[in-house]
């Protein structure tokens, strides 16, 4: 067996591009570390936070040095185990980095099963992005029957899942997404009540009409350009979940700021969301989501690139928001 990895060629000075990376031959790990696992990567997760992490802009983590393997989570198959908790053939979500094979500590690995969904769904709807959506909708905003729920980046893994959860809880759901293809995914596949294309002139007036008498909950994934438009439409006592700021991750200058006066005027509640706070409750989300998936009340939509060689280009596409649904790179066969 031979191993290959994607490494950072140089430290990206702006939004990372495919040309910042290269795919290289790498030594095969000799075996599992003490109490660890030797794994074969099946699918890699492409996430917006990784763009910031490569530039030292994510949760205080240092930027990886050029020459190192790109960090990131995957679904992998256990080939050899030095841990009593895992055996060969198990499937795990763990931080392998971008490679065909990796030796990883067992402590950070989570066992998963296919159960009627692609195994890669554990990187999307049944993984970190789905948990983020569940936490924001059910634990922070506490969405209930009768809410008017707005979310942007609504075609993405977090936004699409958040809207589907809110709809299943009885809210009227309106998604904001860029372009007709994303809009079709939001209403056709995710079955939101409506979607608005913010790349079209007059989208704010359209949103106001669709959400009348105003959103009770807004789930923010993008940043200032959407938040400043939606906030004035909120009903009194509206709730806002601040989840992501995708449009600001690679810009310079001051981060966006909400004016405190309008927050008081609206008696609004603003919730900052960090998914790490909810990792120990992932089982609660998976228990809720699994029957919803079986009943088609929750849809998994993936944008898959084939092969490790295509990971850099797919990553660049994802960072530019050109993907549909959850961006995944299939690295090896799924024998689940």
Ligand X SMILES: NC(=O)c1ccc[n+]([C@@H]2O[C@H](COP(=O)([O-])OP(=O)(O)OC[C@H]3O[C@@H](n4cnc5c(N)ncnc54)[C@H](OP(=O)(O)O)[C@@H]3O)[C@@H](O)[C@H]2O)c1
User: Using CB under 6 A as the criterion, which residues of the chain lie in contact with ligand X when the complex forms?
Assistant: 47-49, 129, 132, 153, 155-159, 177-178, 182, 221-222, 243-244, 246-247, 273-275, 320-321
Q: Least distance to ligand X from the beta carbon of 331, Å?
A: 19
Q: What is the CA radius of gyration of the chain?
A: 20
Other Cβ atoms closer than 10 A to 1: 8
Backbone angles phi, psi at 194, to 5 degrees: -160, 160
Residue 72's alpha-carbon distances to 48, 97, 121, 274, in angstroms, are 11, 5, 16, 18
Q: Output the six-digit token pair for 282.
A: 């992932």
Ranges of beta strands (E only) in 172-232 are 172-177, 194-197, 217-220
* Closer residue to ligand X in complex, CB, 47/77: 47
Around 308, how many Cα atoms within 13 Å sit in the side-chain half-sphere? 25
Give the nearer residue to ligand X in terms of CB position, either 28 or 271.
271
Report the nearest approach of ligand X to the CB of residue 192 (Å): 13
Q: How many CB atoms lie within 10 A of CB 71?
A: 15
- Identity of the residue, 102 or 275, whose beta carbon is nearer to ligand X in the bound complex: 275
CB of 96 to ligand X, least distance (A): 19
Closest separation in Å from C-beta 78 to ligand X: 26
Q: In this complex, which beta carbon is closest to ligand X, that of residue 29 or of residue 130? A: 130
Q: How far is the CB of 247 from ligand X (least distance, A)?
A: 4
N-terminal to C-terminal alpha carbon distance within the chain? 21
Cβ-proximal residues to 238 (8 Å cutoff; 6+ apart), any chain: 214, 215, 216, 217, 218, 266, 268, 269
Whichever of 10 and 320 has its CB closer to ligand X, that residue is 320
Closest approach of Cβ 163 to ligand X, in Å?
Answer: 11
Q: Which is nearer to ligand X, 39 or 289 (CB)?
A: 289
């Amino acid at each position: 067996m031979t191993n290959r990895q994607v490494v950072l060629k140089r430290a990206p000075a702006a939004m990372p591009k495919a040309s910042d990376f290269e795919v290289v031959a790498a030594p095969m790990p000799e075996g599992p570390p003490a109490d660890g696992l030797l794994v074969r990567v099946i699918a890699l997760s492409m996430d917006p936070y990784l763009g910031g992490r490569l530039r030292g802009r994510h949760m205080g983590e240092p930027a990886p040095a050029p020459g190192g393997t790109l960090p990131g989570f995957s679904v992998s198959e256990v080939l050899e185990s030095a841990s009593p908790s895992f055996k060969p053939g198990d499937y795990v979500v763990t931080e392998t980095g971008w490679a065909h094979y990796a030796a990883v500590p067992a402590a950070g690995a989570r066992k998963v099963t296919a159960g009627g969904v692609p195994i890669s769904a554990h990187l999307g709807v049944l993984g970190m992005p789905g948990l983020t959506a569940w936490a924001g909708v059910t634990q922070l905003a506490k969405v209930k029957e009768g809410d008017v729920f707005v979310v942007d980046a609504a075609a993405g893994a977090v936004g699409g899942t958040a809207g589907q959860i809110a709809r299943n809880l009885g809210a009227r759901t309106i998604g904001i997404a860029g372009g007709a293809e994303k809009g079709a995914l939001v209403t056709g596949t995710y079955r939101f009540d409506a979607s608005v294309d913010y790349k079209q002139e007059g989208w704010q007036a359209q949103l106001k009409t669709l959400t009348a008498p105003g959103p009770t909950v807004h789930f923010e994934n993008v940043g200032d350009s959407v938040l400043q438009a939606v906030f004035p439409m909120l009903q009194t006592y509206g709730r806002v979940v601040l989840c992501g700021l995708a449009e600001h991750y690679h810009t310079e200058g001051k981060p966006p700021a909400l004016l405190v006066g309008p927050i008081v005027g609206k008696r609004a509640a603003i919730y900052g969301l960090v998914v790490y706070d909810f990792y120990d409750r992932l089982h609660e989300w998976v228990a809720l989501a699994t029957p919803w998936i079986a009943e088609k009340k929750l849809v998994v939509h993936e944008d898959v690139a084939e092969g490790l060689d295509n990971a850099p280009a797919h990553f660049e596409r994802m960072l530019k928001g050109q993907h549909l649904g959850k961006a995944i790179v299939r690295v090896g066969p799924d024998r689940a």
